[in-house]
Structure 1
Amino acid sequence: MEINAEIIKKYRQKRCWSQLQLAEMAGISMRTLQRVEAQSTASLETIKSIASVLEISSEDLLQQENTSNLDAAKVDSTYQRKRTQLIVGVVLVCIVNVIALALLFYQREQQAIDESTFFILKNLVSVTLVLSVGVALFQGYRKGLIFKKDIY
């Protein structure tokens, strides 16, 4: 099937993935991916695999628009939307956990919970915060939405 290989290249490059990395994630050989990007043809199964990894629809790859600017704008807007969703998600997780900690401290101050329960719940909320943010950042890194330089 005829596809727009430029979309694949732009999504792959935007995420700083090599052809080998994308091919491995899509479960296809690197030679197949090279052929897809060079010849703009692929089987339906290959299209679905690549689209799934790039988190786009198969129909997006089947579009034969030759306007590179439109494709680049679409890639950029999708990338920015997903990056914004990740950042908003991390911020919301932090806010919820800070509120939970504040409520725990308030309840302890009011002597509504004993010291050992407070200690356990405080540590549980703290660990949850660290793990949630860590997993979200790792997933964002894996999907090419954030980079090491963003974290440091």
Structure 2
Amino acid sequence: MMTTKERPTYYEVLRAGGNAENLRLRLELFVIEVKIKFPEYATEATELVDQVLRALRHDHGGRRPEDVFIVWLNKKVPNREFFATPEHEETMLKLWERWYDTEQLDKEFWGIRLHHEKGVQYGWMYLTEERVSQGLQCLREWLEGRQANPAC
């Protein structure tokens, strides 16, 4: 069992929750942009994003990942004994590690721009068919990888 010094700080938990929320918002924005610029891909984009979001909620006990972090943050400050059992603590720390690591998130969702890149134009006006294809392929691969390894 970790000591309180080995646990993530409030701000580290906040960042992980922010990363989770950022992914959800980027996925939803991707669907909106596709509907505007490339309506022929809208149905597939909507279905894939819905499947990914559903899978992420399933991984987090039916909640959106960012909501799990909100609960953690609200409990963490007033009560240092938030974790009910060592197993609960281990699960929460794995969850935190998954969402805190932005490099890993960028690798998992390589076709969805999670962070602004210098010199890259964003928004539906700049969306290209190639980027739509990359986004859809990325989501397909993520879902296929999940089926192959449900423990992810």
TM-score range, shorter chain: 0.3 to 0.5
State the TM-score, normalized to the length of structure 2.
0.32
**Higher Rg of the two aligned structures:** 1
Q: Which has the higher contact order (CA 8 A, sep 6+)?
A: 2
State the TM-score, normalized to the length of structure 1.
0.32
